[in-house]
Structure 1
Amino acid sequence: MDVRGIDGGDETRSTLLSRMSQFTVLGDSAIRQLLLNLSREEIKSFQHDIEDCLISISPGNESDYQPSPGIINRPDGQKILFRPFTSPENVGTKIIVHPAPAPETSESAAASRAQQALHGIVVLVDKCGFPTGILNAEEITGYRTTMSAMITYSWRRHTEHILIFGAGKQALWHSRLALALRGDEIKSITIVNRSLERAQELIQTVNRENSLYWKSSCQLRALAHTQEGFGLQLQTILAEADAIFCTVPSREPLFPIVALNLEKRSRPPFISAVGSWQPDMIEVDPAILHHVTETRGFNKNDGTLSSGAVIVDDDEHALIHAGEIVRSGLNKDQIVSIGQVLSWKREGSLGAESTHDLNWWLAEGLIVYKSIGVSVTDLVAGNTILALAAKKDLGTFISDF
């Protein structure tokens, strides 16, 4: 058999044969340690890869080549997600399992936590179909989702006080990456969660890791719904928060617009919502989104500071799948993709005055970033992790797979 016939191109036999043997298996622990040990520059390089991907989706046309995900709902309540993705150089899929609800009689804390974790794998092949890697999906999902939120957050001028809703994997990675990227600027991170125990567990983990990796003087604190005076405490923290990260699969807004005290505060916050990803889910009050589009901000249509827009990861699917966008009734002219914003900033195609206005809005204006997840970022994250693992000699290598 002439292996050149597989691709129909001019690649040599030795090149294709070498592809057949380059296969790596990376487990959850190896991926977590690899990501935690990344330097700030390595994180920024990883972020740049994610940025390239988001630009390729919009304003690029890579979304035309992404298959629709498949979702299976089993009778016992188990949900299974099959999410395929493609690029010019690679093909892959992610399989995620949301376990069936535990029996109500179960009192095991470990069993409870197992229900909250979403486990699965990412499988990657090259453009010729040769397998390149199998990776545990748990850390990849948390990392790439958080990384997309960090892009917009990285442009903010102020980040002294951070508020995070949730205490799961997304909240954990938001805490980690905020400290890794801007730990010398952050004074406090507050974790808001229904369970005080889970919030405290997250804080213990982050404090331990911070002493090893980032060495920030930031103070972490927990606030639970069950604590006395919760509502008043939350309102006080919201009114001074520079960045608000929402990571909860909620079906009701996590806080009202009045709690932000927008009329009196000296600087508006940055708000990111990544926890809700279906039309019936919502984290951010629709009134906040309307406020963004009705007050001073960057207008993508005429390049002025007349009004703002909600930034999304996928402008096409956000109109259909993002609960905040759907419930707010926003139209396509009131949202802008993060890929488009990145393209404007990189190319400088707006002109000097408009670029200045855009940069001001991103750094100091009221920003809401809404993510529902872009599947092909899993492919990019998986490939970047495989490259980093090879560089650091991590993982299990299988020859002639």
Structure 2
Amino acid sequence: MDEMLLDAARTAQALPWAPLVDEIEALLADSSVAVPPRTVMLTAHGACLFAMPACDARTAMTKLITFTPGNAGSARPAIQGDVTVFDVATGERRLILDGPIVTGRRTAAVSALAARWLAPNLAGPMLIVGAGVQGRAHVEAFAAVLGVRRFLIASRSTRSAEALADHARSLGAQAELVPDADAALAGCPLAVTCTPASGVVLRAPPRADGFIAAVGAFTPQMVELDAALCRHVAAQGRIVVDARAADHEAGDLLQAGLDVAALPTLADVVAAGDAPRRGPVLFKSCGWAGWDLAAARLATRAG
């Protein structure tokens, strides 16, 4: 086997949750990080090809993945591809990581980091809306990094929800299925929406001590959250985006008529230090190659 080529299992092993969250936080303070806009090319059948490069003073990487919504519910994953990692000084290729694993783990790790900085109440339970790859990753990340021990799972697929509940229990957590995400939100200070973002899945306003991470929508046309919910949080609490790319990609916020460019990023929050924890918080994540670079840095050290 090529020692530089890490399959899904070895990629996951190289990206343990707590160190990955810490690496993402460290990257936000690294002035050498450079991340150009990602290239998104529409292909046939509503699919996309993403090219996402980034580098710092020592490591360069690019993520090349396909996103195929039509694969949802089939044996084929919606996200496929690789992350190739290079040494900046020599130009040598160091690693090739499994793209879907990197995407799943870094996305959930960013949500956990945002919750660590912003969530008014980390006690749980946590509502998981969507029981696919990202639902599983968020259960793992929030259990491992923030100690969440109880999860409520809402999904269109009972089979997927039951599988995710079983997985949560295997981690030592409590888990149960809920038929109505809006009704369940009233009892959950933590929530994440991680669906294909083909329509609104959450309408109820969050609790005054609520934190919602919305990770499914990454184009202006995609949406998971009701516009009134987004406007409520903007008026009563705080909205933070993962990176400035969200200015033109955060469909939930754009469709709510909010000025996304005026909202702080996670980097702004970390740079400012202690963040106010009053009122509900919405963390809108669209994805950024910097998160993949953090994963590449950690995996390179592990290798």
**TMscore range, shorter length:** 0.7 to 0.9
- Distance in 2 of aligned mates of 1:270 and 1:99: 29
Please name the residue that 2:175 is paired with.
Answer: 220
1:54–1:313 Cα contact (<8 Å) kept: no
For 1:313, the aligned partner's letter is: D
The Cα offsets for residues 54-87 of structure 1, whole Å up to 9 and x where unpaired, read as 345xxx685xx43333334444555322222222
Give the secondary-structure state (helix, strand or coil) at the position aligned to 2:24. helix
Structure 1: tracts of 5 or more residues without a match: 1-22, 103-110, 211-215, 224-229, 296-307, 346-354, 391-401
Please name the residue that 1:322 is paired with.
Answer: 250
Q: Does 1:277 align with 2:214?
A: no
- Distance in 2 of aligned mates of 1:99 and 1:255: 24
1:374 to 276, 288, 300: 288
1:158 to 95, 103, 122: 122
2:61–2:296 Cα contact (<8 Å) kept: no
- Distance in 1 of aligned mates of 2:204 and 2:155: 19
Q: CA deviation at 1:342?
A: 0.5
The Cα offsets for residues 124-144 of structure 1, whole Å up to 9 and x where unpaired, read as 111131111111112111010
Q: Does 1:80 align with 2:23?
A: no
The 5 A counterparts of 1:192-207 are 192-207=154-169
Change in Cα spacing, 1:129 to 1:34, as seen in structure 2 (3 Å) is closer
Please name the residue that 1:51 is paired with.
Answer: 25
- Distance in 1 of aligned mates of 2:50 and 2:261: 31
The 5 A counterparts of 1:232-247 are 234-247=181-194
TM-score normalized with structure 1 length: 0.68
Please name the residue that 2:200 is paired with.
Answer: 253
Please name the residue that 1:93 is paired with.
Answer: 62
Change in Cα spacing, 1:54 to 1:283, as seen in structure 2 (3 Å) is farther
2:214–2:284 Cα contact (<8 Å) kept: yes
- Distance in 1 of aligned mates of 2:267 and 2:29: 4
- Distance in 2 of aligned mates of 1:180 and 1:312: 23
For 1:221, the aligned partner's letter is: E
Structure 2: tracts of 5 or more residues without a match: none
- Distance in 1 of aligned mates of 2:199 and 2:82: 31
Q: CA deviation at 1:292?
A: 2.4
2:12 to 29, 32, 50: 32
- Distance in 2 of aligned mates of 1:81 and 1:332: 23
The Cα offsets for residues 203-260 of structure 1, whole Å up to 9 and x where unpaired, read as 223333x1xxxxx3x311123xxxxxx44xx3431111110111112133212235x4
Q: Kindly, what percent of the aligned residue pairs are identical?
A: 24
TM-score normalized with structure 2 length: 0.88
Q: CA deviation at 1:175?
A: 0.3
Give the secondary-structure state (helix, strand or coil) at the position aligned to 2:202. coil
Q: If each structure's strand is expressed as a fraction of its own residues, which one has the higher value?
A: 2
Over aligned residues, Cα RMSD in angstroms?
Answer: 2.6
- Distance in 1 of aligned mates of 2:260 and 2:69: 37
2:80 to 112, 115, 119: 119
